[in-house]
Amino acid sequence: MPVIFHAVQKLLNTSRLKTVQYVSKGAEGQLLHSWYATLLNTGFSGKLLVMYVHEPSLLTVVCRGKTIGGTWEEFLGRLPALLKKAGFPEKQIEWEISLMDSYVVAKTSSRSMRSYMTQMMLVFEGPYASYEGILLERLEENILDYPYSTPGKAKRYNTAGDYWREYWSAQHL
């Protein structure tokens, strides 16, 4: 079952991909089907990061590179540890990863998701001593509990960590 990456135009250009609007549903019970992706500037010439943000939880994976294809394997490698930190049961992690056998790329369709990604980009701004010295795990952990405004919702602020903790507690694991 392919994962959908909704990529911003700059990332589409860098990845040399042409795409159209793509709408799809995940497999029954699949939680991690739709992701948004953008490039993060690091301040080092030619050295970028790709930020993947899950819709709707805002769970964020950060990979070194400039393209979706070039960061796909790293995305799959980094995701399980982040899911564990977010409170996912081991069986659910294995199942979600097993469903990610490929990806399709679509244009971004949600202005609110793009707005959240812009907020995240501000959190990730350097300065960094070196490109290799950027601690991706620390960036991901910081954003896991970063508060986002949620206008029109009962809670005015939420975090990706709270989103998943509330989800799993409602499942009565």
Q: Has residue 23 got a pLDDT over 60?
A: no
Could you tell me which CATH number the domain at 2-166 has?
A: 3.30.420
Res. 74: pLDDT tops 90: yes
Confidence (pLDDT) at 24: 66
Distance CA 44, CA 58 (A): 26
The Cα 102–Cα 159 span in angstroms is 28
For 76, how many CA atoms within 13 A lie in the half-sphere containing its CB? 17
Mean pLDDT of 64-91: 96
Mean per-residue pLDDT of the chain:
87
Distance from the first to the final alpha carbon of the chain? 26
CB neighbour burial string for 93-115, b if at least 16 within 10 angstroms, e if fewer: bebbeebbeebebbebeeeebee
Is the CB of residue 43 less than 8 Å from the CB of residue 128? Answer: yes
Residue percentage of the chain with pLDDT more than 90: 53
Residues 31-50 have pLDDT tens digits of: 999 999 999 999 899 999 99
- The domain ranges of the chain are 2-166
Whether 139 and 124 have beta carbons less than 8 Å apart is answered as yes
What one-letter code names the amino acid at 39? L
